[in-house]
Amino acid sequence: MTKYDYDLFVIGGGSGGVRASRMAALAGARVALAEEWRMGGTCVIRGCIPKKLLVYASQFSENFLDAPGYGWTLGEPKFDWPTLIANKDREIDRLEGLYKTNVEKAGVTILQDRAVFEDEHTLLLVNSQKKITAEKILIATGNRPTREMGTSHVIPGGELCITSDEAFHLEKLPRRILIAGGGYIALEFAHIFHGLGAKVSLVYRGEKPLRGFDDDMRDALCASMQDRGLEVLLGCEFTKIEKRGDCLHAETNKGAVIECDQIMLAIGRQPNTMALHVEKAGVELGRKGEVKVDGYSRTSAPHIYAIGDVTDRMQLTPVAIHEAMCFVETAFKNNPTRPDHAHVPSAVFTTPELAAVGLTEMAALGLGHSIDVYKSTFKPLLHTLGGRGVRTLMKLIVDAKTDKVLGCHIFGDHAAEIIQIVAVALKMGATKKDFDGTIALHPTAAEELVTMRTKSYSKTP
């Protein structure tokens, strides 16, 4: 019999914490989980799921544009933001309920409270002022949008901006919105607001958005945004923001003053370790405040682990879930298992989508591979009658020596759905010959991936 109240105490009821607590409880451990707000975490409450619902809503406007080419005559379409937000909130409430039920069904005690460290085995519940001890502790507190703009100083007026957290609950759809950042969240929300009818300007400090993605995909996305009427301001940063009447005025480093109704910051996220008092338990943090972990998600205190966004490894829900499963194997099943962060597919839910798995052309060359590159760009069948000039771009990076497919990149409709399955092939070590030997499924966009016979070019490092 252990001297602790619980075998495992999980801090945070997001994707990682929920999965770890359920699996540990099902493996026989006595588990408690503290969540200070709502069960489900960023993904369910104010991230992936509500975002995708807004993406679906935003795409109707383009379907209406395509409809006449297919013989449909429509009346004047009207969009009502409060209806969308209310319906989205109802679905999120339903999902939150399911999460809670599943965790409880597994035998986990849910404590609706904020937990902070008292010492290496003791947690204080801040609201109830109760102390709880546990043999093992898992930190799965996630992260939050950063508001710190600027490299050397905080931008005056930054507090007037919203982040993605507030974007999900705006009272009305802004008529004009500026979005700062060039990552996943900035680009997804830029397309959401544009599709719903707002005038959108993306303000990005670099030379093209989506650093880390393949350059051809980044160029295709930039061109597509401009074609669709989204303004993309590159090499641009805010220097000052102020409220004048009902409007916001943003001054930029280019000397411009832009008037708008909302400004959204999507300039990265910071780990939720503030006031968690991890130092009382001997847990070390990194430069950004992330919990430092080893290959098994173990912190500098051997009985304390951390998974998901708070570790700032890969900020993706399925990665947090995978890390949770590996944690339970390691800490409760006597089967030390390292999370595998290779071949993780990801997608940016712009319209159309940008999705990728494996290495970019630049990364492959950087790692010393000689590569053959296969590229295809085409007008998807849907758009032949629709009449808009939308194109899809697909790209395969192949190791010239081994014939292994090192990376696959798609900018086009349904890219995310396609890349999920390509990830299976890459994980299994598929070669270009395997792709070529696979019979096409016609007529689809995905068939292009198994019919690219002519090499576009080769490169050596």
Q: Identify the residue among 14, 41, 174, 182 touching ligand NDP (CB under 6 A).
A: 182
Q: Does 150 bind ligand NDP (CB under 6 A)?
A: yes
The dihedral over CA atoms of 88, 90, 92, 97, expressed in degrees to the nearest 10, equals: -170
Q: Does 272 bind ligand NDP (CB under 6 A)?
A: no
x/- letters, 54..93, toward ligand NDP (CB under 6 A): ----------------------------------------
Nearest distance, CB of residue 427 and ligand NDP, angstroms: 18
Q: Does 270 bind ligand NDP (CB under 6 A)?
A: no
Q: Is 322:329 a contact under the CB 8 Å cutoff?
A: no
Could you confirm whether 442 is annotated as catalytic?
Answer: yes
What token pair was written down for 10? 């999980």
Q: Does 422 bind ligand NDP (CB under 6 A)?
A: no
Q: Does 347 bind ligand NDP (CB under 6 A)?
A: yes
Q: Does 409 bind ligand NDP (CB under 6 A)?
A: no
Binding range to ligand NDP, per CB under 6 A, among 113-121, 183-191, 358-366, 420-428: 183-191
Q: Does 346 bind ligand NDP (CB under 6 A)?
A: yes
In Å, the largest CA–CA distance within the chain is: 73
Q: Is 310:304 a contact under the CB 8 Å cutoff?
A: no
Q: Does 189 bind ligand NDP (CB under 6 A)?
A: no
The DSSP annotation for 221-288 comes to: HHHHHHHHT-EEEET--EEEEEEETTEEEEEETTS-EEEESEEEE-S-EEES-TT--GGGGT--B-TT
Reduced to 3 states (helix: H, G, I; strand: E, B; else coil), residue 378 is strand
Q: Does 268 bind ligand NDP (CB under 6 A)?
A: yes
Q: Does 186 bind ligand NDP (CB under 6 A)?
A: yes
Number of residues that bind ligand NDP (CB under 6 A): 24
Cβ proximity to ligand NDP: between 149 and 371 the closer is: 149
Q: Does 348 bind ligand NDP (CB under 6 A)?
A: yes
What token pair was written down for 280? 């009382």
Q: Identify the residue among 40, 183, 345, 412 touching ligand NDP (CB under 6 A).
A: 183
Distance CA 320, CA 299 (A): 16
Segment 311 to 330, residues that bind ligand NDP, using CB under 6 A: 315-316
Nearest distance, CB of residue 76 and ligand NDP, angstroms: 32
Nearest distance, CB of residue 319 and ligand NDP, angstroms: 9
Distance CA 368, CA 371 (A): 9
Distance CA 384, CA 395 (A): 22
Nearest residue to ligand NDP on Cβ basis: 183
Nearest distance, CB of residue 112 and ligand NDP, angstroms: 26
Q: Tell me which H or E stretch contains 398.
A: strand 392-399
Distance CA 16, CA 317 (A): 8
Catalytic residue among 153, 303, 409, 442: 442
What token pair was written down for 172? 């009305």
Binding range to ligand NDP, per CB under 6 A, among 185-193, 299-307, 325-333, 368-376: 185-193
Nearest distance, CB of residue 188 and ligand NDP, angstroms: 6
Cβ proximity to ligand NDP: between 352 and 386 the closer is: 352
Segment 197 to 216, residues that bind ligand NDP, using CB under 6 A: 205-206, 211
Q: Tell me which H or E stretch contains 65.
A: helix 48-66
Q: Vertex 39, ends 38 and 45: CA angle to 5°?
A: 65
Residue showing tokens 């409709």: 413
Cβ proximity to ligand NDP: between 184 and 435 the closer is: 184
Cβ proximity to ligand NDP: between 186 and 430 the closer is: 186
What token pair was written down for 437? 């030997």
Residue showing tokens 């390691």: 330
The CA radius of gyration of the chain, in Å to the nearest whole number, is 24
Reduced to 3 states (helix: H, G, I; strand: E, B; else coil), residue 446 is helix
Question: Which amino acid is present at 307?
Answer: I
x/- letters, 213..242, toward ligand NDP (CB under 6 A): ------------------------x-----
As annotated, the active-site residues are 442
Binding site for ligand NDP (CB under 6 A): 149-150, 180-186, 188, 205-206, 211, 237, 266-269, 315-316, 346-349
